[in-house]
A and B are shown apart, each in its own frame.
Chain A
């Protein structure tokens, strides 16, 4: 993991995965800051971690609690959908997906 530089193609690929529009002029800016941050976090290579279990929860031994699979909330879709940009007949509207 010695080379942390990020090329323009990589910036475009990551931006697509993150669903962020990136303008051409922004690409070198991202290249520069991402490369520098990745080089900085590359310091982690110095740590000897063979056999170390990756931390999965900040509290040791804690497990994800599950609740009973039963209805617990009221239907409040009208109140929640009041925040939506575009709603019709209780449905969220987006641009046409299938021609």
Chain B
């Protein structure tokens, strides 16, 4: 996997951008080198569904012209991957499903269009759990992604391809989405940085819908600084997404070096109850770094938070069953062969086109929305969701951010949790709360347990992405966990 002396893997996006501006290497050279790494790693990691080499080189050459003309922005010429949930015009967009195996998106998602106009170079489409439903990347129609730290382990999910590719230094950053933890959990399990923005901060237009009141696009990168650069380009009001929020986008990189002295950090009692002692120890070590930088620690309690996983597993499947009703074998995507009649066409198309976990969630969602059960399950869950959101609101009256673990355990073995859906669902026990309340949250690497990376999660009030990134950046200036490269990918 020779990539040439110029591209010693492990350079962050900001460092690669500086190299491009100094003309140490061209975007075309960087793109070719990283395409080579991506292709070489594919048989082992399976991090991508499609590689778009030709388009990438054309974009890189265009970026090189911008660089030569002195018109380069902070992302010009930077190779990235898009999670295959984002529509890419003229390029196959599968969402990890047989249902969309033959789907060529007729337009770009807003996120894709924005990052394209910022000058990024798309190397391909990242593998993911089918329709983003999963926490281990094992539900993908295209096979599981493997964790670069240990290929017998999962990378987490649903943005497993994005996280594995960034961790293996195949790209400095990748887009991702987070409905219940799908950015933060794989980022934690792969030892990279993952930011889920506030609901409404990043446009969902062209981002294939799973649970529309929870889904949010974001980024997986090597550092908080890199995440800030990408978020600045991704975020913003979009009239094509009716839930997009019309607020100005700050330059998230401009405030990274602000001091965090006096930052009030809330330690979530509910996150530490029953936490593995070694995991808790890593979090305490990280908190000591924040204290040394002048932050104040304070224990806070969100009494309704333990109900977030049950509330999520009513609300998310309900929205999933509604959103996925569009896959009917008529207008796009998979169609079963020789349908007897229209009903048979619908039923067999959906039975054959969707995988087991997606069908299970459609069934649950249909059940909780059906006559006689709607009040008991769906309305009840939305009431509990309100209680959880109110708990967060109260906590942010007393503290600036909340800190805790991202996941209960490091990466687990492939197949270890596929037999029991509830065991799998509980992976997201610490991440789901932020989705239910629409809050921004970031996961940063904070050390190792059993030789595997784990993540520290920082949750903030709505639209406090700058605060989260500044805190994460302050931590990353004091530590080098985010600089650790999986063996074999140095």
Contacts and interface: CB of A to CB of B under 8 A. Distances in A.
Interface in B182-232: 199-200, 213-214
Contact of B383 (A22, A53, A59): A53
A4 to B, nearest CB: 10
How would you classify the secondary structure of chain B's contact residues: helix, strand, loop or mixed?
Answer: helix
Given A19-B347, A52-B387, A54-B379, A38 B310 contact: no
A92 B214 CA distance: 32
Contact of B380 (A33, A37, A49, A86): A49
B154 interface: no
Contacts of A56: 382
Interface in B360-417: 360, 362-368, 370, 376-377, 379-387, 389
Given A47-B387, A52-B383, A59 B245 contact: yes
A40 B313 contact: yes
B335 interface: yes
B367 A67 contact: no
B351 A21 contact: yes
Interface in B436-462: 436-438, 462
Contacts of A80: 106, 331-332
Nearest to A66: B242
A30 B311 CA distance: 21
Interface string B331-373: 1110100011111111110110010000110111111101000
A36 B200 contact: no
A41 interface: yes
Contact of A44 (B199, B332, B350, B381): B381
B310 A64 contact: no
Contacts of B384: 44, 47, 49
Contact of B387 (A10, A30, A49): A49
B140 interface: no
Contacts of A30: 360, 363
B437 A58 contact: yes
B106 A55 contact: no
Q: Which of B313, B321, B346, B351 has the most CB of A within 10 A?
A: B351
B422 A58 contact: no
B200 A59 contact: yes
B421 A33 contact: yes
Contacts of B386: 52-55
B314 interface: yes
Contacts of A18: 321, 350, 362-363, 365-366
Given A37-B313, A47-B304, A95-B342, 9 more contacts: A18-B363, A18-B365, A20-B351, A30-B363, A38-B377, A41-B314, A54-B379, A55-B389, A76-B106
Interface of B: 102-104, 106, 199-200, 213-214, 239, 242-243, 245, 304, 307, 309-311, 313-314, 321, 325, 328-333, 335, 339-348, 350-351, 354, 359-360, 362-368, 370, 376-377, 379-387, 389, 420-422, 425, 436-438, 462
21 contacts: A1-B377, A18-B321, A21-B347, A22-B351, A34-B363, A36-B421, A41-B314, A41-B368, A49-B387, A54-B382, A55-B436, A58-B200, A58-B213, A59-B200, A59-B245, A79-B106, A81-B331, A82-B106, A85-B329, A85-B335, A86-B335
